[in-house]
A and B are shown apart, each in its own frame.
Chain A
Amino acid sequence: MSNSIISLVNVSKSYKRDSFNVPVLNHLSFDVESGEFLALMGPSGSGKTTLLNLIAGIDRPSSGKIEINGVDIATLSESSLAKWRANNVGFVFQFYNLLPVLTAFENVELPLLLTKLSKADRKQRVEFALSVVGLADRMSHYPKQLSGGQEQRVAIARAIVTDPTIIVADEPTGDLDKNSAVEILTLLERLNKEMKKTIIMVTHDPNAAKIAGITKHLDKGDLV
């Protein structure tokens, strides 16, 4: 019996550029098992980030079906999709995307503001998430007071604080030096192995891809 958490069936995506229709993804079909660590690789413009955005529910396919945990997310309304993202997906971006006016604690707490958790419960969760990424002692620091690697660890803490089933990471080591990149990859590996998170990571780096259990290659919108 299949244990797939993500199922893509004949998914295509194209963008309109002026009067032209530019195809980005062509009839992709594949499954991702629960607890899998999938790396998406491919040259620039191959459609990696677009595919990640579709799986994460921040973009919609032009055709095809994306089922996550049995929910066809392409059919959800904007507000339902927003709620679904808040409950099911954790995001890690290449440029961290932390809010500069909030401390590490407050940045991590941000997704929890949409929940009905009490202040004490939010605090407990944030402290746990920051301790997982090894930044329990930097909670009151602002992003500009942290290194790039530390900022990305705060971003990972923000991604796991709601305990999502899936974590999507778009080139999480793309803006980091070698040592910081290793730290982040090790952390993602831990999240996958110890916390059983399903992780889908877009990367250009073959060393990063080695940490993932499965690697899929995209080229011009096709799986190769």
Chain B
Amino acid sequence: MKILKLIIRNSARHKLRSLLTVVGIAIAVLAFCILRTVVTAWYAGVDASAPDRLVTRHAVSFIFPLPYSYKEKIASIDGVETVSFANWFQGVYKDKNNFFARLAIDEETLFTVYPEYLISKEEKEAFLADRRGCIIGSGIAKEYNIKIGDKMPIEGDIYPGNWDFTVRGIYRPRDKTTDATQMFFQWTYLNETMEKNSPLRANSVGWYLVKIKDPARSAEISNKIDNLFANSKAETKSETEGAFQQGFISASGAIITAMNYLSFIIIGIIMLVLGNTMIMTARERTREYAVFRTLGFSAFHVAGLIFGESMIISGFGGALGLLLSFPIIKGIEEGMPKGFFPTFNLEPVTVILAISAALLIGVLASIFPTQRAVKTKIVDGFRFVG
């Protein structure tokens, strides 16, 4: 207890130096948490992917549509449970900066394929009963203060015209990684409009979402789907939902990888800063350590003093950085356009990594000064002039 008291008092001996080091560690941990949160948010789509869902798209590019007629053919393949589909609608809701996914979906099957979108039976029935009805995620509802029954006008761009929807339901995310920032409306409404205004674009879907019975057969079923449409006008490429999401991320792979490395480089830099502080501290106290050892304290005790002080400084810095991370990441999330990331939260794994990093900084920063203090002979310690 007395030794702990001594360690604490030693930590506060050079108040400004300790404070600056604590603040430095706090900023590093904060930066680490923010960068890791961005990286995690980027991968949220992959994390949220279900292993029993396949995505079938046009073999050339995601932007080319597939015939609606593929639905029954895919459904006939052994091992396929449900086939759903969606079209990227895009459009503008009030302002171009109001970014969130707007999709025309197969109203009959979407919620079967995506059980993580939680919606009441009444809302779902109301949605199915209204051709111009739409369902939005709770994130969108909160961001734009939209309630059930509200009108939601969308100005079309990929599909030109003014599209007026009525909100018939608000889905809630089942998991933390579930995207709650999407708007869904009936593909039938889109298709009927296309048949009337632009018949060549009718009866086409953006991509198929295939729920399979056994995730272990995903590769086999993907091959079967693609073989089914080989040498056709619209060949397909099928893959698991996770691989599909990963494909999106790989386009920004270099930036994400750089951010990943950067988060650890920051920790490395601050480790050197604390290491420098601890070396200076141990150097200044060389005579004191000699006194300790003269009085009968062992090298182990002296190592404990240095290690303890290093851990206290890194612990305070880490705790401060972590405490600041929660409101700052929340602020960043609120300041970002809704839908930019499906989720932007400080994940438990990031918290654990940040705590581990702070502790690791404390341990590693104390190694060299401890080694030096322990190896210095008592008589040399008394002769030392810092």
Contact residues of A with B, CB < 8 Å? 50, 53, 56, 58-59, 78-79, 82-83, 85-87, 91, 93, 97, 99-102, 106, 109-111, 113-114, 158
Q: Is B20 an interface residue (CB 8 A)?
A: no
CB B379 to nearest CB in A, in angstroms, measures 5
Contact check, B291 vs A97: say whether CB atoms are below 8 A apart: yes
Minimum Cβ distance to chain B for residue A162 (Å):
8
Query: Taking A58-B294, A82-B296, A91-B294 as contacts, is the C-beta distance between A97 and B287 under 8 angstroms?
Result: yes
In the complex, whether B6 has a CB less than 8 A from a CB of chain A is yes
A82-B298 contact given A59-B379, A97-B287, CB 8 Å threshold:
yes
Contact of B379 among A53, A100, A101 (CB under 8 A): A53
Provide the residues of chain A in CB contact with B378, threshold 8 Å: 53, 58-59
B213 contacts partner chain A, Cβ-Cβ < 8 Å: no
> Is A111 a contact of B296 with CB atoms below 8 Å?
yes
B297 — which chain A residues lie within 8 A by C-beta? 82, 114
Contact of B295 (CB < 8 Å), options: A85, A100, A102: A85
Q: From B10, B291, B298, B377, name the one whose CB has the most chain A CB atoms within 10 angstroms.
A: B291
Cα A90 to Cα B157 in complex, Å, equals: 89
Alpha-carbon distance between A15 and B379 when the two chains are bound, in angstroms: 12
10 closest Cβ pairs, A-B complex: A86-B296, A101-B9, A58-B378, A97-B291, A111-B295, A59-B379, A85-B296, A82-B296, A114-B296, A82-B298
Query: How far apart sit A82 and B379, CA to CA, in the bound complex (Å)?
Result: 14
Do A101 and B13 contact each other (CB < 8 Å), given the known contacts A53-B379, A106-B2? yes
B3 interface contact, C-beta 8 A: yes
A136 to B294, CA, bound (A): 25
Mask of B363-386 contacts with A, CB within 8 angstroms, 1/0 = 000000000000001110010000
Say yes or no: B377 contacts A59, CB within 8 Å. yes
Closest to B380 in A: A59
Say yes or no for B299: interface residue by CB 8 A criterion: yes
**Are A91 and B6 closer than 8 Å at their CB atoms?**
no
- Which of B6, B287, B298, B377 is the one whose CB lies under 8 Å from A101? B6
Report Cα–Cα, A79/B378, bound state, in Å.
13
A113/B9 contact (C-beta < 8 A), A58-B294, A86-B295, A97-B288 known: no
B293 interface contact, C-beta 8 A? yes
A82 touches B288 (CB 8 A): no
| B9 with A91: CB separation less than 8 A | no
A sample of 13 inter-chain contacts (CB < 8 A) reads: A58-B378, A82-B293, A85-B296, A86-B296, A87-B296, A91-B295, A100-B13, A101-B9, A102-B9, A106-B2, A110-B295, A114-B297, A158-B295
Known: A58-B378, A58-B379, A59-B379. A99 touches B6 (CB 8 A): yes
Which B residue sits closest to A159, measured CB to CB? B295
- Per the bound structure, the CA–CA distance linking A91 and B287 in Å amounts to 14
Further 18 A-B residue pairs, CB within 8 A, beyond A91-B295, A101-B9, A111-B295: A50-B379, A56-B294, A59-B379, A78-B298, A82-B298, A83-B296, A85-B296, A86-B295, A87-B296, A91-B294, A93-B382, A99-B6, A99-B288, A99-B291, A100-B13, A110-B295, A113-B3, A158-B295
